[in-house]
Amino acid sequence: MITVNRPSTQDSVIATVACAIIVYFVCKRWEPWRLAVVVPLTMLPPLVLSLPLAASVGFLNAVITTSSTFASALVAMLTFYRLSPLHPLSQFPGPLQCKISGFWMAWIVSRGKRHVYIQSLHEKYGDHVRIGPNEVSINDPTAIPQILGSYGWPKASGMSGRALHQDPLPLISLLDDAEHSRRRKSWNRAFSSAAVREYQPVVAQRATQLVQALQEQRSVVDLSQWMSYFTYDFMGDMAFGGGTEMLREGDKAGLWQLLKDGMSTAVPFEHVPWLSHYILHFPALIRSLTDLRALAFGRSKLRYERGSTTKDLFYYLSNEDHADAEMPPMKVVISDAVLAIVAGSDTTAVTLSNIFYYLISHPDTYRRLQEEVGKYYPPGEDALNPKHYVKMSYLDAVLNEAMRLYPALPSGSMRTPAKGSGGQVVSQRFIPEGTQVRVHPYTIQRDPRNFSYPNRFWPERWMIASGNQSHHEKIAHNPDALIPFSTGPRNCVGKNLALLEMKMVTCHVMQRLSLCFADRWDPSRWWDDLEDVFVSRMGQLPVIIRSR
């Protein structure tokens, strides 16, 4: 009689661990993400290895033993490597939980205070902090031109992860520099000096409508909501040739909530871009984002098929100006629909709301700006005519200071050394190829080495630096550290239009209205409610409005 030696549990565990190590190195080398590859690679080995053990402990117990061992071995290998000196980012300090998994930062994002958390890490660990297994945050203005400048780095995979690998990707998420440059040309035409002049009467019309609507309010007003209405209506005019009337009708369809929920759903995938491949198989979990896309794509498709009635954004994106030899495919044109809505409304609404929050919080600043507005636009003078804006140095100072303290995109975007470069040295630190890097605007712009009294709203700093005001002490002031619109070829293409909107609304409101906070409202609540979800999610800004 022949005796068959059944494998012991110990033998099976050893074999399972060995198999897990092999699978780990396969995944590390080729980084597969397709389910057809990942599922067999991670599910079949423990299942097959459980079969010999099943005769001894039963099939269910065997599967549990090998599966748990396999998973534990994979996690242990992953953790060991990410914490070991063998990891290419081992020289960068950072919290243990950040080094182990991107899920930690994804969770931080879901709480809305990523910008504050990253700032606290820089305060603790220094200018270069590892905020993910493969992600570094930099707080050094000398890194700005190299990473974001004219010959800066391409976008990182986290950007396409946040877009859930939309095909084709929107302009802001394109990883390929050549493709970005080609598609950016139509955006540059849409926001050229000539184009901005075309939009100017539309901005003035909407700003007039905003102030008239505010004058009609007879109770406490949520100013942030009205700024959102204004920017969304103007965005509709500018991008799609019209289509929304929130200033007149309010947000009956809940579009702003959809916008916020959609972006909140998307942004955690910046830190776990691989997961975005799989979340698409669970549409209920990303319903708000798919609904936002459906809304944006629907508006873009309708505008594309209708053709232009004015020289709006899609007039240029769809090449109706015939500047390019070929018409771009419709799917490429409408791929930027969400970008047009978010960039054209949310960022400006947040900045305008912050401007008036700071002005109301600082009565001396409020009075000084009001005096400057009165100097150039006395009663009877049209404050919506931009002819004097270039001379209004204190207006520029107020805008710069508001954007310094809270940029519309507090955590910026993600870049990576060019593929094939092997990595690059930036601010005297070597960044390996494939590393996701962000220059963190919120931290840089609040660093005392760049700006004295960094957490203080003090527009006078800009007047002192420009020589328009004297001061008894020397102050730190580094204008190169101010990057609310980013910089370089991937900067905010609508910067000049956004500044025009801000100046028009600020001057018109200061000329026509008097603002103060609602009684018994705690101003600190504004910062408690303000959240970083790539763009910014605002709470209420309750004010009392009187006509001047």
Amino acid at 485: F
Neighbours of 151 (CB within 10 A): 10
* Angstrom distance (rounded) from CA 222 to CA 363: 20
DSSP state of 351: H
Distance CA 307, CA 314 (A): 9
Q: Which two tokens stand for residue 199?
A: 């939009």
Among 351, 88, 316, residue whose Cα is nearest residue 228: 351
d(CA 14, CA 73): 10
Taking the alpha carbons of 302, 308, 312, 313 in that order, is the dihedral positive or negative? positive
Which tokens sit at 396?
A: 């520029």
- Alpha carbon distance 293, 296 (integer Å): 5
Task: Produce one character per residue of 178-208: b if its CB has 16 or more CB atoms within 10 Å, e if not.
Answer: eebeebeebbebbbeeebbeebbebbbebbe
- The answer for residues whose C-beta is within 8 angstroms of residue 364's C-beta and 6 or more apart is none
Token pair 């270069």 is found at 128
Q: In sequence order, what E strands does 96-213 have?
A: 128-132, 135-138
- Between CA 36 and CA 163 the distance in angstroms is 22
Cβ count near 514 (within 10 Å): 13
**Centroid of chain to Cα 302:** 27
The runs of H, that is alpha helices, within 166-286 are: 177-190, 193-215, 223-240, 246-249, 255-266, 276-279
| 8 A C-beta contact, residue 259 and residue 534 | no
Rounded Cα–Cα distance for residues 358 and 363 (Å): 9
DSSP-derived pairing of the beta strands 135-138 and 436-439? parallel
Round to whole Å and give the CA distance between 412 and 43. 38
Which distant-in-sequence residues (6+ apart) come within 8 Å of 153 by Cβ? 146, 147, 415, 416, 417, 418, 424, 437
- The span from the CA of 62 to the CA of 372, in Å, is 79
Measuring CA to CA, how many Å separate 262 from each of 139, 257, 479, 535? Answer: 29, 8, 34, 11
The answer to whether 507 is a known ligand-binding residue is no
Contact 414, 161 (CB under 8 A): no
Nearest-angstrom CA–CA distance, 76 and 72: 6
For residues 422 and 478, is the Cβ–Cβ distance under 8 A?
no
Binding-site sequence positions for heme: 492
Binding-site sequence positions: 492
